[in-house]
Amino acid sequence: MFFCYILSSLHKRYLNTTYIGFTDDPLHRIRQHNGEIKGGAKFTKRRRPWKIILVVSNFPNKIAALKFEWAWQNPFCSNFIKEDLENKLIVPKMTKRKLMNYYNSIQFKVEVLNFLINSKVFGRINLNINIFDNTPFEGLIITDILKSNMTKIININYDEFKNIMNKKKNESEILSENNLNENLDEELLSFDNLNIPDRCIICEEFFDNNDKKNNDSNENISENSEDSNLNNDDNGKNDKKEYIVKCQMCKSPFHMICLANSEHEKNNDIYNLVPKKADCFVCGKSLIWSEWVKNLTDQFKK
């Protein structure tokens, strides 16, 4: 699991100064920033001690979390929210020096966070925000700024969050010691054990390229140059169907491209490449798109 977090300095000289970062272990990282253990950023050394205000989690992968961190740190350079900030953000009139302090304040960083979780890209992901201090600065209430239909916002005590993280860490260590993770993954990803169809529910094409029915058609292909060119064109089309997504409820498999196209046709949406959500054709379960692709696997690719 990957996290983006925001810290606030408790140093008298640097009150309301913030730092935004990325980590896979927020408990370990905050100790580094406060000098309890080796590590941490140079920016945070002179402004210690720090307290953690909130963490954003449930990113589909590391790249998404790093992009989120960069956009949060550089909002006026990010294509995700640059236009929204220029058109919707109300900046108070002040001197240049005070304006720079404002851009590094908790209030501004939380406002930027609100734009991010409602952007076209990250607004499609069901992120979680754990808030440890809802009133980090006088006159500021974080939950009054953060408003989103997709993001889950949770007020939680830091000690409680710490206990939860430590419990998960201990559980993962036990699993790794007994090598249970590898065995579990092999069982879950085994096509035979899942008892699910061996073809896409939508286009009814087989997933396994070595299937007999697919082989029959390949054997009839002649060796002349014209037929080989046609075969190359077909392979180019099939490359789009090499990724499989599964319903989390009934485990029914679909080609990712087939599921996306079906949603576009149903909603008459030709402008967005990625749909916001998709319904399972078998059980009817409606899932947002990030949930479909979270367990994306190309296990049938040969």
Quick one: average pLDDT of 197-225?
57
Long-range contact set of residues 100-106: C-beta below 8 Å, sequence gap at least 24: 101/16, 104/17, 104/18, 105/16, 105/18, 105/137, 106/6, 106/8, 106/16, 106/18, 106/53, 106/136, 106/137, 106/140
Could you report the per-residue pLDDT of 71-111, keeping only the tens digit for each? 999 999 999 999 999 898 888 888 888 898 899 999 999 99
The reported pLDDT for the residue numbered 283 is: 82
What are the structural domain ranges in the chain? 3-175, 189-294
Radius of gyration of the chain (CA): 24
Spatial separation of the C-alpha atoms in residues 135 and 57, rounded to whole Å? 20
Q: Is the pLDDT of residue 204 over 50?
A: yes
Average pLDDT over the chain, rounded to an integer: 79
Q: Is the pLDDT of residue 130 over 90?
A: yes
Least confident of 30-34, 65-69, 160-164, 290-294: 290-294
Q: Is the pLDDT of residue 297 over 80?
A: no
Q: Answer yes or no: are the C-beta atoms of 29 and 21 closer than 8 Å.
A: yes
Spatial separation of the C-alpha atoms in residues 128 and 151, rounded to whole Å? 6
Spatial separation of the C-alpha atoms in residues 206 and 214, rounded to whole Å? 8
Supply the angle between the helices 96-103 and 106-117 in degrees, to the nearest 10: 50
Quick one: average pLDDT of 123-138?
89
Spatial separation of the C-alpha atoms in residues 207 and 244, rounded to whole Å? 8
Q: Is the pLDDT of residue 117 over 50?
A: yes
Cis peptide upstream of residue 49 (ω within 30 degrees of 0): yes
Quick one: average pLDDT of 141-148?
92
The reported pLDDT for the residue numbered 93 is: 86
SS3 (DSSP) at 116: helix
Quick one: average pLDDT of 24-29?
94
Q: Residue 282's CB: how many other CB atoms inside 10 A?
A: 16
Q: Is the pLDDT of residue 179 over 90?
A: no
The reported pLDDT for the residue numbered 188 is: 44
Spatial separation of the C-alpha atoms in residues 43 and 56, rounded to whole Å? 21
Say which CATH topology domain 189-294 has. Herpes Virus-1 (3.30.40)
Helix, strand, coil share of the chain (percent; to 5):
45, 15, 40
SS3 (DSSP) at 228: helix
The reported pLDDT for the residue numbered 71 is: 95
